[in-house]
Amino acid sequence: MASFRKRGDKWEYRIKYTDPSNGKRREKTRSGFRTKKEAQIEAAEIEKKLYLRQHSILQNEAMLIKDWFEEWLHTYGSQGSQSTLENRKNYIKNHIIPKLGHYHLSSLPRSEYQKFINNLTNKYAITTVRTIHSIFCSAINKAVNEEKLTFNKYQGISIKKENDIAEEKKNYLTKEEVQVFMTAAKLCAFHHYIIASMLLRTGMRKGELIALEWSDIDFKKKTISITKSRNENRTKAPKTKSSIRTIKIGDVLIEELEKYRLWQKKNKMKFGADYHTSEYVITTPRGKEIGPFGINKVIDTILAKTNLHHITPHGLRHTHAIMVLESGADIKYVSTRLGHATVNMTADVYIHITEKYDDRNVDKLDSYLN
């Protein structure tokens, strides 16, 4: 039964009903009616729908998370930028739907969602986990607004991890660990090894790596020109001007790339019409270009052959920067090589390394003066 009351000069109704998602009693309230009669008319209609199970909350009991997220993307996804839409699609397609898509929208337990978040924190950077959680909650909140759900029970989920600085320190390999990692990479497919080697020896972002074309590599001058980035859907300009850069590479990588280019040519002959012709450097054996999540899988595949802690492709960028700093390069050179907007950005990220070299430089000064 609905109840009614007057608040100020307006009327409101309250209807109590059973939430189909958990069997608990809920209350639907709406105010702003000019007369009690108006409130009674709408309340009677709502009660009728609830009784006949025609209300949207009840009608959507059978809707799967997969179906709602696809509908949400189609309806509301274009309200942000193109890059935001593409990121949402990627996270939903590669993380949310594979793990949670089979649940009914109204019946995913909070505890199961917490387990999903916990598993993500064991594999990905804290910022990635927070982004996925934010996307999930945005879609759930919209489902609440459209009365497909009564409330968002996933708010306040715990995302426990060490602070960002500590995480950045962990997301890299030591010199000894690099040897273990690259030994394991040699046991994998050749293009997997090349991906690992290029990330470690260039410090490129994974988006920059998968956008790289053979014309960007100058084998005579031993340079790589980084002028673009790519995601699952398109190639785009880098976010900042400083990301556009040309870096030097060593003889080892030059030799590996020459072997890899020959490997691609042999595959083209081997697979014939089934080979996907592309100018991209990073491809599958059949010539198909690889996306950012494909790069993640490659690194995970290599790590699975070791006892090393988990790192991301970006962790290999950190590893490269640390190795360059430890080899004696100054922070300005590293900043330019990584494509950072400012030297301060580089110093902030690698402060644990620069502080160590501050101590060494002071010792050198003392030794010189004495």
DSSP code per residue over 54-74: -SHHHHGGG-BHHHHHHHHHH
| pLDDT at position 286 over 80 | yes
At 167, is the pLDDT very low, low, confident or very high (cuts 50, 70, 90)? very low
Fold (topology level) of 169-360: hpI Integrase; Chain A (1.10.443)
| 259 vs 28, residue with greater confidence | 259
Is 1.10.630.10 the CATH classification of the domain at 62-161? no
Mean pLDDT of 90-104: 93
Q: 324-337 pLDDT, tens per residue?
A: 888 878 888 888 89
User: How far apart are alpha carbons 348 and 330 in whole angstroms?
Assistant: 14
| 19 vs 123, residue with greater confidence | 123
Domain boundaries, the chain: 2-54, 62-161, 169-360
User: How far apart are alpha carbons 162 and 264 in whole angstroms?
Assistant: 42
Phi, psi angles (nearest 5°) of residue 166:
-60, -40
Q: How many CB atoms lie within 10 A of CB 202?
A: 23
At 66, is the pLDDT very low, low, confident or very high (cuts 50, 70, 90)? very high
pTM: 0.58
The answer to whether the beta carbons of residues 253 and 261 sit under 8 Å apart is no
Distance of CA 255 to the CA centre of its chain: 32
Q: Among the residues of 3-61, which ranges form H helices?
A: 36-51, 56-59
**AA letter at 237:** A
| pLDDT at position 285 over 90 | yes
pLDDT of residue 47: 73
| pLDDT at position 54 over 70 | no
User: How far apart are alpha carbons 227 and 212 in whole angstroms?
Assistant: 8
Residues in the chain: 370
Q: Which range among 74-88, 148-162, 189-203, 229-243 has the greatest average pLDDT?
A: 189-203
Q: Among the residues of the chain, which ranges form H helices?
A: 36-51, 56-59, 65-76, 82-91, 97-100, 110-121, 126-145, 164-170, 175-185, 190-202, 206-211, 251-271, 292-303, 313-326, 331-338, 343-349, 351-369
Task: Report CA torsion sign: 235, 239, 243, 244.
Answer: positive
Residue for token pair 């673009």: 228
Tokens read off for 366: 């003392």
Task: Report CA torsion sign: 99, 105, 110, 111.
Answer: negative
pLDDT of residue 156: 82
| pLDDT at position 165 over 60 | no
Q: 130-145 pLDDT, tens per residue?
A: 899 999 999 999 988 8
The answer to whether the beta carbons of residues 149 and 59 sit under 8 Å apart is no
Per DSSP bridges, beta strands 217-218 and 223-226 are antiparallel
User: What SS3 class is residue 79?
Assistant: helix
User: How far apart are alpha carbons 77 and 66 in whole angstroms?
Assistant: 15
- The DSSP secondary-structure symbol of 310 reads P
